[in-house]
Structure 1
């Protein structure tokens, strides 16, 4: 995950007058996520942050370099005002998982940057909470007890699936073959891994692929294995995110009081999970 902090929020992070406001900012600034800047943006903040805070900011940038936590994105076009350069980076960053962040939205940045995380709008399991948990902890878990209706569950899952600015491909592991939450991925490159058990035939899989393509687009490809040890999980992998359901998608609803959904951002682990994909057979 990559954090793009608004300049005013960085200033607040170094101003320790209000611990309640500053703590979530510092949690972001000193998390394990990458911090994105342009050279121009660093220069603008340095010249505007104030004499009392400029050394703190310079030391922070040095620390990011030492820890290899800084991503420098130099776009072809730069802006003359610090707010405009922030918006420029937020909109045009090539990073697929960059989350722009501001402490408050008194400047109505959300009108220009719809995916911005506004820290003072965080409440349990809303989209701001999802982004904050992933940026600061790389993971979170929710359960049936966090929701009051099926619409909330579906909206929550779709919010996770919408996080990347670009989705190049999606890998779905599921012994069953249902589209409960995946319509958001329609027309993406979807690799769907499933099991061919004793009750299922190859024609059954062709029927499933036909139905899934009708719902999710013709780029979907179905793969199968007869090995029960090879696929047990219900997992969705995309752009460094691993979303795991511990019950079937059909039963991930308000009337089933036993399920959890865990979300983890870990590109290295994602690659390890995908290593077994070569052991599945493409449906022909």
Structure 2
């Protein structure tokens, strides 16, 4: 632990427009601040006991949302003719069997119907009354209740990605838990492979073409001693937490191991059961730095 001597003196704490005074600890074993409990409560300082916790290691991936090819149908006229009636509108929801249009055959002069082969949205329409029909696509009907996330996995990431792994998809505030179902080798000399994960889109929050971020679950491990990352501060190149004992808050440098977005493993510097500052530890950091600067003058 780095030793920095602090001489006894008073420094000012500013909270809610009021001025309070707290005395800096004078011992030479560690940097510490003594704060009245009422002041600590008013400043939003809270603590948590150090103990065991789960480290969830993930791999960040990026990609885009694509339609399910089995749920997209391109509809053409069966025989050349003329469109005499068009019912379907672009963006309209149709059910399987609904009549999209009627065509008069050039050969028989008889009318026949074009119907929706599946329920979904009319995502494309290239049909107007009076137009001739040939081999062109007149309508595209797509069901977007099930979509896919296609995620890029680069060579350095390939060893960590396996079919069946849990993955969390993020699109703005929307988040979806799913799993990898396919890993597709790269084609055309691509420098990556594609991993696919199913998206249940019955809520209609997702759409083909959207960019998506993902966190692929690599491992989950319960460790004997972790701290919440909210508590971590950095002073003079050292990562530390403030440990509470009575009314005293001691700046305690830590040696950290594995970490995720929520917790960090503690290898040295803290013991199970010690109370460390969880929220608003930056207040203590600021006061400690201020007191040190004033002492240097």
Same fold by TM-score greater than 0.5: no
Higher relative contact order (CA 8 A, sep 6+): 2
Task: Report which of the two has the higher share of helix.
Answer: 1
Task: Report which of the two has the higher share of strand.
Answer: 2
